């Protein structure tokens, strides 16, 4: 059975949240709901466009450590990927690529770091944590980042072809957390391009020929430093509006 939303609840929501007062003689609940839906779409667009540029000193320290790890693993014959999971200034775990050594394409640095961090804290949820990676996490790694409720992701080189943010935007997508909040955390704050030149230098030193092919194909690139943060205040307002319909 389709639920009829109370007229008073709809009127209050529209008037107090959007500044719109429906005509008393032409009240239509479907029209009111359509107005709320359009407002929600506008808020989602605003939420995805928030850009700031504040970088914390701890981010520089952790990324330097991450890049050094990628250099070390490259010297061991592995692909130079590295990742950290940190809570504040505490490193919960480190992960480096083990695809070549283990002959297993799922052994990405980010996945190994997430798994180790969960074991370290004894929980699956890694709230108030930051994941650092010298390369943008791919789609395979982006979903576990959201499932683990990691709040921030910081990476050096972007991946326009395979990135879980630049290409597919799993890290910034709010649909999965809105529809399945019990499984996925809210969109993550993303900092990209941090120490990109230093990260690129490791790859170029590892194998100049291979790096030239990777860069020429647009797989990885050193883009400008950017920070994108979900507009949680706008999402909270939307949820408050929609929840008011059920009062």
Q: What is the pLDDT of residue 188?
A: 96
- Least confident range from 66-75, 102-111, 177-186: namely 177-186
> How large is the average pLDDT for residues 100-110?
97
Contacts of 166 (CB under 8 A, 6+ apart): 136, 158, 159, 160, 192
**CA neighbours closer than 13 Å in the CB half-sphere of residue 226:** 15
Q: Which whole-number Å values give the CA distances from 142 to 131, 132, 133, in the listed order?
A: 11, 12, 12
CB 86 within 8 A of CB 62: yes
Contacts of 124 (CB under 8 A, 6+ apart): 118, 147, 148
Helix axes 29-48, 7-18, angle to 10 degrees: 30
Q: Which whole-number Å values give the CA distances from 120 to 93, 115, 116, in the listed order?
A: 8, 9, 6
Residues in the chain: 247
Q: What is the pLDDT of residue 65?
A: 98
Annotated catalytic residue 110: yes
Q: What is the pLDDT of residue 4?
A: 46
Q: How far apart are CA 31 and CA 10, in angstroms?
A: 10
Residue range 69-93, pLDDT digits in tens: 999 999 999 999 999 999 999 999 9
> How large is the average pLDDT for residues 216-224?
95
Of 78, 94, 110, 136, the catalytic one is: 110
**What secondary structure, in 3-state letters, does 88-133 show?**
CCEEEEEEECCHHHHCCCCCCHHHHHHHHHHHHHCCCCCCCCEEEE
Q: What is the pLDDT of residue 246?
A: 37
Q: What is the pLDDT of residue 155?
A: 98
């Amino acid at each position: 059975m389709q639920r009829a939303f109370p007229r008073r609840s709809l009127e209050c929501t529209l008037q107090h949240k959007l500044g719109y007062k429906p005509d008393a003689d032409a009240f239509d609940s479907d029209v009111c709901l359509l107005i709320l839906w359009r407002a929600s779409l506008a808020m989602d667009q605003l939420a995805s466009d928030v850009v700031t540029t504040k970088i914390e000193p701890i981010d520089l320290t952790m990324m330097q450590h991450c890049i050094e790890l990628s250099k070390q693993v490259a010297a061991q014959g592995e692909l130079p990927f590295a990742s950290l999971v940190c809570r504040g200034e505490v490193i919960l775990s480190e992960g480096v690529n083990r695809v070549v050594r283990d002959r297993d394409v799922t052994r990405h640095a980010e996945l190994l770091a997430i798994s180790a961090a969960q074991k370290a804290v004894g929980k699956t949820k890694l709230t108030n944590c930051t994941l650092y990676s010298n390369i943008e996490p791919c789609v395979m790694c982006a979903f576990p980042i959201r499932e683990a409720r990691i709040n921030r992701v910081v990476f050096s080189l972007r991946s326009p072809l395979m990135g879980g943010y630049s290409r597919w935007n799993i890290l910034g997508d709010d649909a999965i957390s809105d529809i399945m909040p019990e499984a996925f955390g809210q969109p993550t704050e993303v900092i990209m391009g941090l120490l990109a030149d230093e990260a690129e230098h490791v790859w170029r030193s590892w194998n100049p020929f291979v790096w030239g092919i990777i860069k020429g194909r647009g797989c990885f690139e050193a883009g400008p430093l950017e920070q994108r943060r979900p507009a949680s205040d706008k999402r909270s307002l939307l949820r408050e509006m929609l929840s008011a319909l059920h009062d």
